[in-house]
C-alpha cells in the first residue's frame, strides 16, 4: 500500500484552511482521588448521571455517582495516567460504540476499539451503549425458532428468536460450548452473532475466536472482549456495548444472537465498582440495583413488531454457579428475568452425557411456539419420558427384578440418553435432528446395542443424505407428521438397519461419517451398560 | 485552569464542615453588620499568622492539646488585638475541636459572602501578565456579560502560549492558543483520517484484492 505524502499534506492543509476557531466552552471539575478504575471529582456541578467526561490525555469516564460534594466517575481506560488535581471536563454526551456491518468479523473491546490488529472499524454509525428496551407495543410474541443445532436443546427446550434463554451450571460443564455451537449453527441462516466475553482468561477467549474462525463462523460473528485483566468498568460496560452492536441489526429488521459469557463476572465487576463508590452493599455484598443491571440488559432482547421491522435479538446469558447452588443471588435474579434456563450438571458431564443438560429442570417458557411442527410432534413427550426414565433408573439400581415392560422402558431410555449426546462443534440440521429423534422415540433403536447408538445415528443421517435425499426432502417439506411421511421414514430406517447389520466392523457406514467423534465416544462408552 | 499544587490538600469532608461554620459566622456577623471587617481579619489571620507560623497552626490543629489549653492560647494571643466576634468564633471552633478546618471555613465564608452580595468569582488565566487597562476592560466586559459584579483573579500560565482562559464556577471559556491548536489538531486528524480511508478503498480495490 502506498500513500502519497504530498496528497496527505494537501488534505491537512485544506482542513487547516477550513478550520474556524471558536472559544471552547466546557464544564470542568478537579480530580480529588483516583484508583481501582474510579475517580472522585470535585466540581462538574452540572454533570448528569451516565454522562461522559474526559480526563487529560483523552481517557474517558462515565459519571456514575452524583453526590452532594463530589462526583464518582468510572474510568474507561488507563486510569494510571490520571493524577490528583487533573482537570476533568464533561462532554455532554453519552457513551456510544461503532455499529454496522463493519463490526462483523471483528474482535473489539467494549468501547469498539479493535483488538484483532485488522485496522480501524470503518463505520460512521454509532449507537448508545445504554438504550431503553422496546416497549410492549413494539414487540410481538416469539414465533420463529432459533435452531441451536443441539438435539437436546432443540427438542426439549426450544429457543425462539427474541427469547432470552439462560445457560447455567458449574464451572467446566460445557456452558460456553453450547453458546459456541449455537453460533456455529447460525451459518447461512442470516442471524448475526455476538459473543461477549466478560472477565474470562484471554487464552480461553483466544481459543473461542480460533474455534469460530476455524469453522467459518467469524464471517457473521463479532467478539466483544473484556478479559480478566481489564479494569472493572470495562467489564461492566461490555454486555451493554455488545447489545448496542446487536440491536443495530434488530432495529434494521434482521435477526441477531448474543451470548453473554458470563453475567456472574459482570455482576462481580459491578459489585467491585459499587463498593469502591461506597454504595451500600446488600445480599452477597452486591449493590441493591444489581437486578436492574441485568434486567435492563436482557429486556433489550426482543422480537420486534412488524411495524418496527420484525427484527429480533435472541440472548443466551451464561451464569456460573458454585457447587450447583442455583439459589444464590445472581442465578435466581437471572433465572427470574430470562424466559427459561438450560441447566448443566457436572455429574452428567462426567458420566459422558454432553451437552450435560438436566432435562428435568431445564425449561423454555416460550415452548412450542419456537419449534417447527415436525419437531413438536416427534419430540413432544420426550422431556417427560426422560424424567420418568430417570426415576425408573434410580429405582432399578436397587437391584430388584424388573418385569419385561419396565425393562423395555429402561432400555429405550438408555438409548434416548445416548442419542441426545452430541460432540462439540457438530451442530445438526433440524431435519437431521427430527429424523434421529424419530428413530429413537419410535423404538427403531431398541435392537441397536447402547454403545453403538452414536455410530448408528451418524450412519443413518449420512444414509438419508446420500441414499434417500428424496425422503429427506419430503421430511423437510412436511407440515406435520402424517401417515405417508411415517411410512416413508420407517421404510428408510428399515433399509438402513439392513445395511447397518451387514457393515464391516472396521469402519463401514458410520466410522467415516463422523471422523472427529472418537474422543467423545470413548467417554460415552463408560456410561452404565 | 487549576494547578495540582493548589488542589492538593483539598478535602471534601473539611469543606463540608467549613460550610456549616461559615454559615454560622456569617449569620452572627450579619446581625452586627460587621461581615466585611470580620472576613478581612479572618483572611489576615490565615495569611499573616497561620501561614507564617506553621508551628502555631500545628498546635491549634493538634488533638493532643486540650481545648482548654487552646482557649487559653487564643485568649493570650488575640484578646484585644482581634474583633470580639472573630475571637468568640475561634473559641467556639476550638471548643468543638475543629481548628484544623479554619482554612476551609474561610474559603466557604468568602464564597457564601460573595454569593449573598451577588458577586461572581472569575479566574482569568493568561500566558503573560496583563496590564491594568486590559484587566479593567476584561472585568467590565465580564461584568456586563454575566450581568453581575465580578471579583477577578488573574494568574499567569505560560503554557497557554496566548489568548485567555476564563473560569466562572465550573464553567471554563477557553480561548487560549494551546486549546485552539489542540482542536485544530483533532480536526485535521479526523479529516485526514476520513480522506485516507477513502484513499484506502481505492488502493484495496486495485492492489490487495
Is residue B207 located within the same domain as residue B157?
yes
Which grid cell sits at A327? 439459589
Coil, strand, or helix at residue A25? strand
Determine the Cα–Cα distance for residues A170 and A346; give it in Å rounded to an integer. 7
Give the residue from chain A lying closest to B194, CA to CA.
Answer: A122
- What residues of A are in contact with residue B167 (Cβ under 8 Å)? 28
CB proximity list for A96: less than 8 A, separation 6 or greater = A126, A127, A128, A129, A244
The bridge status of strand A192-198 relative to strand A255-261 is parallel
Is residue B105 located within the same domain as residue B136?
no
Q: What residues make up the domain containing B91?
A: 4-115
Per-residue three-class SS string for A463-496: HHHHCCHHHHHHHHHCCCCCHHHHHHHHHHHHHH
Q: Return the pLDDT at B9.
A: 58
User: Nearest CB to B170: which of A7, A16, A43?
Assistant: A43
- Indicate if A83 belongs to the active site: no
Cβ of B208 within 8 Å of Cβ of A1? The answer is yes
Is residue B99 located within the same domain as residue B54?
yes
Is residue B92 located within the same domain as residue B17?
yes
Q: Return the pLDDT at A83.
A: 93
Per-residue pLDDT averaged across A319-337, rounded?
Answer: 96
> pLDDT (tens digit, 9 = 90+) per residue, A208-245?
999 999 999 999 999 999 999 999 999 999 999 999 99
List the single range of A28-32, B162-166, B196-200 with lowest mean pLDDT.
Answer: B196-200
Is residue B91 located within the same domain as residue B169?
no
Determine the Cα–Cα distance for residues A113 and B5; give it in Å rounded to an integer. 35
Which positions in chain A have a beta carbon within 8 angstroms of at least one beta carbon in chain B? 1-3, 7-8, 11-12, 14-16, 19, 21, 23-30, 32, 40, 42-46, 68-70, 83-87, 89, 120, 122
- A256 forms beta bridges with A192, A313
Determine the Cα–Cα distance for residues A230 and A193; give it in Å rounded to an integer. 23
Q: Return the pLDDT at A528.
A: 40
> pLDDT (tens digit, 9 = 90+) per residue, A166-213?
999 999 999 999 999 999 999 999 999 999 999 999 999 999 999 999
If you ran DSSP here, which 8-state letter would residue B161 be given? -
Domain CATH code at residue B16:
1.10.520
Q: How many CB pairs under 8 A join A and B?
A: 94
- Short-list A458, A468, A464, A466, CA closest to A507: A458
Q: Return the pLDDT at A396.
A: 84
Cβ of B170 within 8 Å of Cβ of A83? The answer is no
Per-residue pLDDT averaged across A25-48, rounded?
Answer: 92
Is residue B104 located within the same domain as residue B123?
no
Which grid cell sits at A419? 442419542
> pLDDT (tens digit, 9 = 90+) per residue, A66-103?
998 899 999 998 899 999 999 999 999 999 999 999 99
User: Nearest CB to B10: which of A32, A68, A83?
Assistant: A32
Asked if residue A219 lies in contact with residue A190, where contact means CB atoms within 8 angstroms, the answer is no
At residue B202 the predicted structure's pLDDT band, cuts being 50, 70 and 90, is: low
> pLDDT (tens digit, 9 = 90+) per residue, A121-170?
988 899 999 999 999 999 999 999 999 999 999 999 999 999 999 999 99
Is residue B87 located within the same domain as residue B25?
yes
Q: Which domains does chain A have, with CATH numbers?
A: 27-95 (2.40.30.20), 104-123+136-371 (3.40.50.300), 377-525 (1.20.150.20)
Cβ of A24 within 8 Å of Cβ of B184? The answer is no
Per-residue pLDDT averaged across A312-316, rounded?
Answer: 97
- What residues of B are in contact with residue A40 (Cβ under 8 Å)? 12
Give the residue from chain B lying closest to A83, CA to CA.
Answer: B4
The minimum CA-CA distance between B161 and chain A, rounded to whole Å, is: 15
Determine the Cα–Cα distance for residues A26 and B176; give it in Å rounded to an integer. 13
Is residue B104 located within the same domain as residue B171?
no
At residue B185 the predicted structure's pLDDT band, cuts being 50, 70 and 90, is: confident
Residue A275 predicted with pLDDT over 80: yes
Q: Quote the number of domains for chain B.
A: 2
The CA–CA distances, whole Å, from B71 to A171, A482, B86, B99 equal 66, 102, 13, 11
> pLDDT (tens digit, 9 = 90+) per residue, A411-437?
999 999 999 999 999 999 999 999 999
Determine the Cα–Cα distance for residues A147 and A190; give it in Å rounded to an integer. 12
Which of B96, B115, B134 marks a domain boundary? B115
- Short-list B23, B20, B118, B120, CA closest to A68: B20
The minimum CA-CA distance between B23 and chain A, rounded to whole Å, is: 17
Is residue B146 located within the same domain as residue B85?
no
Cβ of B10 within 8 Å of Cβ of A89? The answer is no
Q: Return the pLDDT at B201.
A: 64
The minimum CA-CA distance between B170 and chain A, rounded to whole Å, is: 5
Residue B120 predicted with pLDDT over 60: yes
pTM value?
0.86
Coil, strand, or helix at residue A108? strand
Task: Provide the CA A96 distance to its chain's centre, in angstroms.
Answer: 22
Phi, psi values for residue B14, rounded to 5°: -65, -40
Cβ of B12 within 8 Å of Cβ of A42? The answer is yes
CB proximity list for A54: less than 8 A, separation 6 or greater = A60, A61, A88, A89, A90, A91
Residue A18 predicted with pLDDT over 80: no
- Short-list A317, A343, A358, A514, CA closest to A425: A514
> pLDDT (tens digit, 9 = 90+) per residue, A277-304?
999 999 999 999 999 999 999 999 999 9
Q: Return the pLDDT at A22.
A: 76
Cis peptide before A303 (omega within 30 of 0): no
- Interface probe with B: pick from A22, A24, A48, most Cβ of B within 10 Å: A24
Asked if residue A51 lies in contact with residue A131, where contact means CB atoms within 8 angstroms, the answer is no
Asked if residue A101 lies in contact with residue A123, where contact means CB atoms within 8 angstroms, the answer is yes
Which of B63, B93, B115 marks a domain boundary? B115
- What residues of B are in contact with residue A85 (Cβ under 8 Å)? 2-8
Is residue B130 located within the same domain as residue B99?
no
Q: Return the pLDDT at A519.
A: 41
N- to C-terminal Cα distance for chain B? 51
At residue A394 the predicted structure's pLDDT band, cuts being 50, 70 and 90, is: confident
Q: Return the pLDDT at B209.
A: 43
Is residue B170 located within the same domain as residue B101?
no
The minimum CA-CA distance between A46 and chain B, rounded to whole Å, is: 8
Determine the Cα–Cα distance for residues A105 and A221; give it in Å rounded to an integer. 5
| A186 or B207, which is more confident | A186
Which of B65, B91, B115 marks a domain boundary? B115
The CA–CA distances, whole Å, from B24 to B11, B85, B89 equal 20, 11, 9
Residue A390 predicted with pLDDT over 90: no
Asked if residue A294 lies in contact with residue A263, where contact means CB atoms within 8 angstroms, the answer is yes
User: Nearest CB to A15: which of B4, B187, B208?
Assistant: B187
Q: Which residue has the cell 420484525?
A: A310
> pLDDT (tens digit, 9 = 90+) per residue, A470-503?
999 999 998 888 899 999 999 999 999 999 988 7
Could you tell me if B177 lies within 8 Å of chain A, comparing CB atoms? no
Average pLDDT, chain A: 90
Which grid cell sits at A336? 427470574
List the single range of A408-417, B96-105, B197-206 with lowest mean pLDDT.
Answer: B197-206
Is residue B96 located within the same domain as residue B174?
no
Residue B157's Cβ-count burial label (10 Å; 0-12, 13-18, 19+) is middle
Which grid cell sits at B209? 484484492
ipTM of the predicted assembly exceeds 0.95: no
Residue A40 predicted with pLDDT over 60: yes
Phi, psi values for residue A290, rounded to 5°: -70, -25
Residue B142 predicted with pLDDT over 50: yes
Active-site residue identified among A139, A365, A390, A442: A365
Amino acid at each position: 500500500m502506498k500513500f502519497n505524502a504530498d496528497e496527505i499534506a494537501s488534505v491537512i492543509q485544506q482542513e487547516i484552511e477550513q478550520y474556524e476557531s471558536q472559544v471552547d466552552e466546557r464544564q470542568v471539575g478537579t480530580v480529588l482521588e483516583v484508583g481501582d478504575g474510579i475517580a472522585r471529582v470535585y466540581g462538574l456541578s452540572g454533570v448528569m448521571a451516565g454522562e461522559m467526561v474526559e480526563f487529560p490525555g483523552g481517557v474517558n469516564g462515565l459519571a456514575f455517582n452524583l453526590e452532594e460534594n463530589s462526583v464518582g466517575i468510572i474510568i474507561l481506560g488507563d486510569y494510571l495516567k490520571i493524577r490528583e488535581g487533573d482537570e476533568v471536563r464533561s462532554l455532554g454526551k453519552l457513551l456510544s460504540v461503532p455499529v454496522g456491518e463493519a463490526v462483523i468479523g471483528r474482535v473489539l473491546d467494549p468501547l469498539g476499539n479493535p483488538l484483532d490488529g485488522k485496522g480501524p472499524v470503518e463505520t460512521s454509525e454509532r449507537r448508545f451503549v445504554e438504550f431503553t428496551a422496546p416497549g410492549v407495543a413494539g414487540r410481538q410474541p416469539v414465533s420463529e425458532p432459533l435452531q441451536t443445532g443441539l438435539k437436546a436443546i432443540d427438542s426439549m427446550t426450544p429457543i425462539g428468536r427474541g427469547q432470552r434463554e439462560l445457560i447455567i451450571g458449574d464451572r467446566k460443564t460445557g456452558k460456553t460450548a453450547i453458546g459456541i455451537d449455537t453460533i456455529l449453527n447460525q451459518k447461512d441462516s442470516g442471524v448475526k452473532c455476538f459473543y461477549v466475553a466478560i472477565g474470562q482468561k484471554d487464552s480461553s477467549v483466544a481459543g473461542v475466536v480460533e474455534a469460530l474462525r476455524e469453522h467459518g463462523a467469524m464471517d457473521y460473528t463479532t467478539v466483544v472482549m473484556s478479559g480478566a485483566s481489564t479494569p472493572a468498568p470495562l467489564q461492566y460496560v461490555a454486555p451493554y456495548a455488545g447489545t448496542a452492536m446487536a440491536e443495530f441489526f434488530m432495529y434494521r429488521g434482521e435477526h441477531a444472537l448474543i451470548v453473554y459469557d458470563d453475567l456472574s463476572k459482570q455482576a462481580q465487576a459491578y459489585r467491585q465498582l459499587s463498593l469502591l463508590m461506597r454504595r451500600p452493599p446488600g445480599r452477597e455484598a452486591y449493590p441493591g440495583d444489581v437486578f436492574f443491571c441485568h434486567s435492563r440488559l436482557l429486556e433489550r432482547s426482543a422480537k420486534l413488531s412488524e411495524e418496527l421491522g420484525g427484527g429480533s435479538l435472541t440472548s443466551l446469558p451464561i451464569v456460573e454457579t458454585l457447587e450447583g447452588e442455583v439459589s444464590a443471588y445472581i442465578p435466581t435474579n437471572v433465572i427470574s428475568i430470562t424466559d427459561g434456563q438450560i441447566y448443566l450438571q457436572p455429574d452428567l458431564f462426567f458420566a459422558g452425557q454432553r451437552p450435560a443438560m438436566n432435562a428435568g429442570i431445564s425449561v423454555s417458557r416460550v415452548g412450542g411456539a419456537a419449534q417447527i411442527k415436525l419437531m413438536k410432534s416427534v419430540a413432544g413427550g420426550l422431556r417427560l419420558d426422560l424424567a420418568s426414565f430417570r426415576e425408573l433408573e434410580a429405582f432399578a439400581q436397587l437391584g430388584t427384578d424388573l418385569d419385561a415392560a419396565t425393562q423395555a422402558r429402561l432400555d429405550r431410555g438408555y438409548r434416548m440418553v445416548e442419542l441426545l449426546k452430541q460432540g462439540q462443534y457438530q451442530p445438526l440440521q433440524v431435519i437431521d435432528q427430527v429424523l434421529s429423534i424419530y428413530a429413537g422415540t419410535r423404538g427403531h433403536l431398541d435392537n441397536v446395542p447402547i454403545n453403538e447408538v452414536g455410530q448408528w445415528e451418524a450412519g443413518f443421517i449420512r444414509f438419508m443424505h446420500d441414499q434417500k435425499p428424496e425422503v429427506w426432502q419430503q421430511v423437510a417439506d412436511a407440515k406435520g407428521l402424517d401417515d405417508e411421511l411415517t411410512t416413508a421414514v420407517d421404510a428408510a430406517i428399515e433399509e438402513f438397519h439392513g445395511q447397518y447389520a451387514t457393515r464391516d466392523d472396521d469402519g463401514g457406514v458410520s466410522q467415516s461419517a463422523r471422523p472427529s467423534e472418537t474422543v467423545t465416544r470413548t467417554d460415552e462408552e463408560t456410561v452404565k451398560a | 485552569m487549576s494547578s495540582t499544587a493548589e488542589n492538593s490538600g483539598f478535602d471534601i469532608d473539611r469543606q463540608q464542615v467549613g460550610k456549616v461554620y461559615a454559615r454560622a459566622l456569617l449569620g452572627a456577623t450579619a446581625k452586627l453588620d460587621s461581615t466585611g471587617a470580620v472576613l478581612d481579619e479572618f483572611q489576615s489571620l490565615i495569611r499573616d499568622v497561620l501561614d507564617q507560623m506553621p508551628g502555631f497552626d500545628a498546635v491549634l490543629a493538634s488533638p493532643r492539646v486540650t481545648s482548654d489549653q487552646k482557649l487559653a492560647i487564643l485568649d493570650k494571643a488575640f484578646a484585644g488585638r482581634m474583633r470580639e466576634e472573630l475571637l468568640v468564633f475561634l473559641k467556639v471552633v476550638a471548643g468543638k475541636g475543629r481548628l484544623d478546618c479554619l482554612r476551609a471555613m474561610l474559603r466557604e465564608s468568602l464564597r457564601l459572602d460573595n454569593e449573598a452580595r451577588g458577586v461572581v468569582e472569575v479566574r482569568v488565566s493568561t500566558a503573560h501578565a496583563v496590564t491594568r487597562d486590559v484587566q479593567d476592560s476584561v472585568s467590565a466586559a465580564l461584568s456586563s456579560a454575566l450581568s453581575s459584579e465580578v471579583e477577578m483573579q488573574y494568574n499567569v500560565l505560560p503554557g497557554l502560549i496566548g489568548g485567555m482562559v476564563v473560569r466562572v464556577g465550573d464553567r471554563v471559556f477557553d480561548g487560549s492558543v494551546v486549546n485552539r491548536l489542540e482542536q485544530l489538531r483533532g480536526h485535521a486528524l479526523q479529516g485526514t483520517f476520513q480522506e485516507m480511508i477513502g484513499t484506502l478503498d481505492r488502493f484495496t480495490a486495485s492492489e490487495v484484492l
